[in-house]
Amino acid sequence: MKTIVILGGGYAGINLVDSLKKELKDQLGTAVRVILVDKNSYHFRKVLLVKAITEDADDLQLKVPFQRYISKGIEVLQGEVTRINKTGNIVEIEKEDHQVVEVHYDYLVITLGSRVKDNENFIGGMTLKDESSAHDIKDRLIDLINKTKKLNSDHKRQSNLKIALVGAGITGIETACELAVWLKEQALIHGIDPNGVEVLLFDPKTRLLHEAPDHISSRLEKKMNKFGVKFFSNTRVKEFNNGYLVCTDGRKYEIGLCIITNGVEVNPTIKQLQLPLSDQNQLIVNDCYEVEGHKNIYSIGDCARIIDPITNKYDGMTCKEAIPQAQRLAKIIKHKMTKQPNHIVHTSYPVKLFCVSLGPKEGFVWIQKWGMNFTLTGQLGLRFRNYTWNLASLLK
Ligand SMILES: Cc1cc2nc3c(=O)[nH]c(=O)nc-3n(C[C@H](O)[C@H](O)[C@H](O)COP(=O)(O)OP(=O)(O)OC[C@H]3O[C@@H](n4cnc5c(N)ncnc54)[C@H](O)[C@@H]3O)c2cc1C
């Protein structure tokens, strides 16, 4: 019996399990077994983190128990990966009770992903990094509303309801709109003028969604303005201190709260594994996702440095890339197991796609195909967004 061990049940890990089920269906449980290892007992739907600020966690289905992905020949082991013994083909897993178990592999796939960058230099700023930080942000916002109610000065009331977001990627855009809508609702409930609510979104880039044509970026920006979100391009934030947000160009804004949404970094566990790393600490892999110098160790998802051989560009750290990588790797492993020559060529991603929610009722989707640009907005955009969220976690 051959054993495939997958380290990490994030988007890359669960989609690889799903694709292996399809590719190896006749062998699973008889000739092949797959062991999915994760420190948690559930798949965490990171892409919904922003909703954890404003919505009830139970309604969100943020955590999907791994049981949902198990079938014949697929096992789950809960514990933290600590070490790989490459000569013995063994991976060491520390369980919750600190007991270390050794798991033998024939094929090992590392999908340990990334974590949100925590920028502690922003004194007083809060980073949206996990479920508990989302709850802390909500508590701070509720506190702000309660304090605002007691203020007499209109100026102070307005600055209290000004929220700054640092970083205008997908998370920054979605958080800005979600909070603008939610804060206005809360203001009304508490008898405060909702027009005082303003969300300032800062980014050093020249425009939102910079990979799309100018007119698409402007369209997105206009939609966000409608919710009370103001975008500051070409602006790097230096610090948040004593209620003031200071930018590197010297501009200063009086605000109530600063939230940091400035991207992700590779999971630090990757460094411990003593495998070849890029300067961004991603595992260096070849065009079949094999880790350099290790024929039976593969890596995909956020923790791997993958170059698209057609465009010669690095794959981004998003689900949009992780999922096709998982589908392709399942085929590569199948070919390797059956000793067939590898014909699994890399095909470029079929479309350029960008998809965000703009608050609880609208979405914005941009698709580029055949040199043309398509957008979906409003409720239709949100429906598409919901579909991609569910698809990524295999919740059909
Ligand atoms: C707030 C936020 C919003 C995002 N929104 C979008 C979006 O809208 N669209 C999009 O395409 N992408 C989005 N992304 C990026 C997307 O989430 C990542 O690209 C995706 O999660 C990568 O999947 P992965 O499987 O490589 O890694 P991860 O999803 O990070 O999975 C890694 C897994 O490894 C496990 N793990 C970690 N360390 C250990 C250890 N030592 N031992 C055992 N298990 C371990 C973790 O528990 C986790 O299950 C977002 C990211 C964030 C943070």
Of residues 229 and 338, the one with the higher pLDDT is: 229
**What's the pLDDT tens digit per position in 7-46?**
999 999 999 999 999 999 989 999 999 999 999 999 999 9
CA of 206 to the centre of ligand 1 (A): 27
Tell me whether residue 84 is exposed, middle or buried, using C-beta atoms within 10 angstroms of its C-beta: 0 to 12, 13 to 18, 19 or more: buried
* pLDDT of the residue at 23: 95
The helix (H) or strand (E) run that includes residue 121 is: none
pLDDT band at 81 (very low <50, low <70, confident <90, very high): very high
Alpha-carbon distance of 381 to 364, in angstroms, equals 5
Strands 283-284, 107-110: pairing is unpaired
* pLDDT of the residue at 34: 98
Alpha-carbon distance of 383 to 357, in angstroms, equals 9
Which atom, in ligand 1's list, is nearest to the CA of 300?
26
What is the sign, positive or negative, of the torsion defined by CA atoms of 323, 326, 331, 334? negative
CA of 263 to the centre of ligand 1 (A): 12
What single DSSP character describes residue 316? P
pLDDT band at 183 (very low <50, low <70, confident <90, very high): very high
**What's the pLDDT tens digit per position in 280-291?**
999 999 989 999
pLDDT band at 138 (very low <50, low <70, confident <90, very high): very high
Q: Which fold has domain 126-262?
A: FAD/NAD(P)-binding domain (3.50.50)
Phi-psi map region of 100: left, alpha, beta (phi>0 left; psi -120 to 50 alpha):
beta
Domain residue limits, the chain: 2-116+265-349, 126-262
* pLDDT of the residue at 60: 85
Does the pLDDT of residue 151 top 90, yes or no? no
CA of residue 154 relative to chain centroid, distance: 38
For residue 395 the two structure tokens come to 């919740």
Which residue stretches of the chain are H helix? 11-23, 51-54, 57-60, 131-150, 154-160, 170-189, 214-226, 269-272, 319-337, 378-392
* pLDDT of the residue at 1: 93
**What's the pLDDT tens digit per position in 185-224?**
999 999 999 999 999 999 999 999 998 999 999 999 999 9
CA of 46 to the centre of ligand 1 (A): 6
Of residues 362 and 310, the one with the higher pLDDT is: 362
| Residue of 7, 41, 319, 366 to mutate, ligand 1, most atoms within 8 A of C-beta | 319
CA of 353 to the centre of ligand 1 (A): 19
* pLDDT of the residue at 349: 66
pLDDT band at 347 (very low <50, low <70, confident <90, very high): low
Alpha-carbon distance of 303 to 301, in angstroms, equals 6
- Asked if the domains at 2-116+265-349 and 126-262 fall in one CATH topology, the answer is yes
CA of residue 87 relative to chain centroid, distance: 33
Pocket of ligand 1 (CB under 6 A): 8-13, 37-40, 44, 46-47, 49, 80-81, 111-114, 116, 170-171, 264, 267, 269, 301-302, 317-320, 322
Alpha-carbon distance of 43 to 395, in angstroms, equals 12
Which atom, in ligand 1's list, is nearest to the CA of 319?
11
The helix (H) or strand (E) run that includes residue 222 is: helix 214-226
Looking at the chain, how many residues does it have? 396
Q: Range with the lowest mean pLDDT among 42-51, 150-159, 359-368?
A: 150-159
Q: Look-up: residue for tokens 């698809």?
A: 391
Strands 2-7, 107-110: pairing is parallel
* pLDDT of the residue at 309: 77
Alpha-carbon distance of 276 to 284, in angstroms, equals 6
Does the pLDDT of residue 345 top 70, yes or no? no
Strands 229-232, 264-266: pairing is unpaired
CATH code matching the domain that covers 2-116+265-349, chosen among 3.30.360.10, 3.40.50.1240, 3.50.50.60, 3.40.50.720:
3.50.50.60
- For residue 247, the cross-strand partners are 237
Alpha-carbon distance of 156 to 173, in angstroms, equals 26
Residue type, 11: Y
Which residue stretches of 27-153 are H helix? 51-54, 57-60, 131-150
CA of 364 to the centre of ligand 1 (A): 22
Residue type, 319: C
- For residue 43, the cross-strand partners are 64
For residue 288 the two structure tokens come to 């079949």
Nearest to 358 by CA among 230, 224, 262, 202: 224
Tell me the CA distances in angstroms from 216 to 49, 372, 380, one per residue in order: 25, 12, 17
For residue 221 the two structure tokens come to 């920006």
pLDDT band at 56 (very low <50, low <70, confident <90, very high): confident
CA of residue 141 relative to chain centroid, distance: 23
- Tell me the pLDDT of the chain averaged across its residues: 93
Half-sphere exposure of 4 (CA within 13 A, CB side): 29
**What's the pLDDT tens digit per position in 83-100?**
999 999 999 999 999 999
Contact 239, 258 (CB under 8 A): no
